[in-house]
Chains A and B, each alone.
Chain A
Amino acid sequence: MIEIVEGEWFRLPHLGTDNFKTLMSLGLKYDKAKGMLIDSETNKNLLITFLTQVLKDDVQIYKKCAICEARIDCRTCEYSSDCDFLKASENCLCSKCLEREESYAYYIMNSETF
């Protein structure tokens, strides 16, 4: 299983020039030193399909909790049927942080650092 977290740099095994070009055309960001990054331009749906075919393995994209930075698996979220999570922006909230009192205040505190 290939696990990718939105907003975090990741590396893939060498896939050849043509596949690299395809990955770039899907909107991935590339930095020689850091690797690859999903950003707002990335077509996440196509990326999963493409990587699953090329790597012959399951690919899972996680969001990051904007408060505690935990990984969030959108497939298990109670709102997944209405959220269209592959087209939603990179950060979300984990269920624990959503239940927290003053969660918005914590969110703002964390946003100041980005």
Chain B
Amino acid sequence: MASEMWSEKYRKIGFNQIIGNESARKAFYNWIKNWREGDKAVLLVGQAGTGKNTTIYAVAQELGYRVIELNASDTRTKEKLTKKLGSSLYTISLLGEKRLVLFDEVDGIYGRDDYGGTEYINELLEKPPVPIVLTANDENNENVIKLERKTIKISFQKVPLRMIIMYLKHIVELENKKVDSKLLGEVARKSRGDVRAAINLLQSMIDAPNTIKSIDVLKDAVVSKQDALMALVNEENPEMAYEKISKVDFNSRDKLYLLFYSILASDLDKSKRITALRAIADIDIFETRIESTQEWRMLRWFDRIVVNKFYNRSFKQRIRYHEEEPLWELKIKYWTELRLFKSIKEKVNQRYHISNSEFVLYYLPCLISLAKKDREKTLHYLQYLGFNDNFISLIDKRAKT
């Protein structure tokens, strides 16, 4: 059976057991302890792994609050938010249970300006009936800056590396493992102040001693992007390709971009390009899910999946290293289509109360498939619904291909 993730296991700790950000934690504790109906909401800002959510849950536990958590980047429309929160905002439970509403990662919801979600949160912030806590990773996000006026901002900073080492030592002792203290130092260095990342890396090292054996391997991140890509496309042995791509010191998202731009710039015929881009799309879905669920430990499979998707494929040897952004003509094409989608976004949101992603994922393919079956009726129907000519001709073009 797979062992529990340590970053989750050691998240369920008491308020005083959290490391770093002492004054920020104290400020949050005092805010919730003295909270009265109508008091301003609080906005906790800080990069991932600085202890925002751990603090919220620990304080809630200590002061007897039940946390109603809404991940803002998943639940975005007013309808969905209302449904999820239900009447719990305005009623006191039979058992007299205190409630706290947590909008996690509000930079997500505010960045997407989906129908009604933003206004709904803004209404709640006017006169909160229960303590409302918002969290955000990016303090420079324009919308987070706007939120600062309506909330009390508490900043969570990176945790100093020595403090992370102290905590890793403690975990190693609890897990009854033996790890060299220099190695703990290297793990802390890699984490750059992100406690969760440090714990995940520590566990990966202990769980998978064959992939990361020692401090030297951690330091051995000198394979260039070009070498890694060449290994991926030329190397016959998948293990060797994995060796190289896993030693490039840049993150999974950058690896995806590198592959994407290289595929776009390579001389592939249409069907091979489609297959290659589909492979990228699959990897992208995996990576995005890790980001949205914050199951960072799954990232240890990322390089394996990349190698697997490209191993033994006929197109791979035609891929050429290209790190720049796509060619101008291609950019123009994407930009024009994106603009078109944006222009219909509001109409779709307002009229049908669905989010952008729902429209693109479910409705758009249906429209194209309907147009394939009965072109005239579908286009006529789209006209009747009020979509503009550009959009209709795009659907028509897609249906023909």
Q: Does B264 contact A (CB under 8 A)?
A: no
Taking a contact as CB atoms under 8 Å apart, the answer to whether B160 and A91 are in contact is yes
Taking a contact as CB atoms under 8 Å apart, the answer to whether B23 and A39 are in contact is yes
Taking a contact as CB atoms under 8 Å apart, the answer to whether A40 and B169 are in contact is no
Show the binding face of A for B, using Cβ within 8 Å: 7, 39-41, 63, 66, 77-79, 82-85, 87-93, 95, 98, 103-104, 107-108, 111-112, 114
Taking a contact as CB atoms under 8 Å apart, the answer to whether A40 and B19 are in contact is no
How far apart sit A89 and B346, CA to CA, in the bound complex (Å)?
42
Residues on A with beta carbons closer than 8 Å to the beta carbon of B17: 108
Taking a contact as CB atoms under 8 Å apart, the answer to whether A83 and B19 are in contact is no
Taking a contact as CB atoms under 8 Å apart, the answer to whether A98 and B23 are in contact is no
Taking a contact as CB atoms under 8 Å apart, the answer to whether B189 and A103 are in contact is no
Residues on A with beta carbons closer than 8 Å to the beta carbon of B27: 40
How far apart sit A101 and B160, CA to CA, in the bound complex (Å)?
19
Given contacts A7-B23, A90-B23, contact A84 B158 (CB under 8 A): yes
Given contacts A93-B166, A112-B16, contact A88 B23 (CB under 8 A): no
| CB of A99, distance to nearest CB on chain B (Å) | 9
Please name the residue on chain A nearest to B181 by beta carbon: A99
Extra contacts, 18 of them, besides A40-B154, A103-B169, A111-B22 (Cβ < 8 A), are A39-B23, A40-B23, A40-B27, A40-B156, A63-B160, A77-B162, A83-B193, A84-B158, A87-B158, A88-B157, A88-B158, A89-B24, A89-B160, A90-B23, A92-B162, A98-B165, A104-B169, A114-B26
Taking a contact as CB atoms under 8 Å apart, the answer to whether A88 and B159 are in contact is yes
Q: Does B225 contact A (CB under 8 A)?
A: no
Which of A40, A103, A107 touches B21 (beta carbons < 8 Å)?
A: A40
How far apart sit A93 and B17, CA to CA, in the bound complex (Å)?
15
Q: How does the 8 Å CB contact mask read for B143-165 relative to A, with 1 for contact and 0 for none?
A: 00000000001111111111101
Taking a contact as CB atoms under 8 Å apart, the answer to whether A87 and B22 are in contact is no
How far apart sit A88 and B20, CA to CA, in the bound complex (Å)?
9
A-B contact pairs, 15 of them (CB 8 A): A7-B23, A39-B23, A40-B27, A40-B157, A66-B163, A83-B193, A87-B193, A88-B158, A89-B21, A91-B160, A95-B162, A107-B19, A111-B16, A114-B22, A114-B26
Please name the residue on chain B nearest to A44 by beta carbon: B157
How far apart sit A41 and B154, CA to CA, in the bound complex (Å)?
8
Residues on B with beta carbons closer than 8 Å to the beta carbon of A92: 160, 162-163
How far apart sit A91 and B23, CA to CA, in the bound complex (Å)?
9
Residues on A with beta carbons closer than 8 Å to the beta carbon of B26: 114
Choose among B22, B167, B192 the residue with the greatest number of A CB atoms under 10 Å from its CB. B22
| CB of A4, distance to nearest CB on chain B (Å) | 15
How far apart sit A31 and B175, CA to CA, in the bound complex (Å)?
46
Given contacts A66-B163, A83-B193, contact A90 B22 (CB under 8 A): yes
Residues on B with beta carbons closer than 8 Å to the beta carbon of A108: 16-17
Q: Does B36 contact A (CB under 8 A)?
A: no
Residues on B with beta carbons closer than 8 Å to the beta carbon of A103: 166, 169
Which of A63, A82, A112, A114 touches B189 (beta carbons < 8 Å)?
A: A82
How far apart sit A63 and B20, CA to CA, in the bound complex (Å)?
12
Residues on A with beta carbons closer than 8 Å to the beta carbon of B160: 63, 83, 85, 88-89, 91-93
How far apart sit A103 and B169, CA to CA, in the bound complex (Å)?
9
How far apart sit A108 and B22, CA to CA, in the bound complex (Å)?
11
How far apart sit A93 and B165, CA to CA, in the bound complex (Å)?
10
Choose among B162, B169, B185, B189 the residue with the greatest number of A CB atoms under 10 Å from its CB. B162
How far apart sit A67 and B271, CA to CA, in the bound complex (Å)?
63
Given contacts A79-B189, A103-B169, contact A93 B163 (CB under 8 A): yes
How far apart sit A111 and B158, CA to CA, in the bound complex (Å)?
18
Residues on A with beta carbons closer than 8 Å to the beta carbon of B23: 7, 39-40, 89-90, 114
Please name the residue on chain A nearest to B16 by beta carbon: A111
Of residues 162 through 201 on chain B, the ones whose CB sits less than 8 Å from some CB of chain A are: 162-163, 165-167, 169-170, 185, 188-189, 192-193
Taking a contact as CB atoms under 8 Å apart, the answer to whether B166 and A89 are in contact is no
Residues on B with beta carbons closer than 8 Å to the beta carbon of A77: 162
How far apart sit A22 and B193, CA to CA, in the bound complex (Å)?
29
Taking a contact as CB atoms under 8 Å apart, the answer to whether B193 and A84 are in contact is yes
Residues on B with beta carbons closer than 8 Å to the beta carbon of A104: 166-167, 169-170
Q: How does the 8 Å CB contact mask read for B130-148 relative to A, with 1 for contact and 0 for none?
A: 0000000000000000000
Please name the residue on chain A nearest to B185 by beta carbon: A79
Residues on B with beta carbons closer than 8 Å to the beta carbon of A84: 158, 192-193
Taking a contact as CB atoms under 8 Å apart, the answer to whether B192 and A82 are in contact is yes
How far apart sit A112 and B161, CA to CA, in the bound complex (Å)?
21
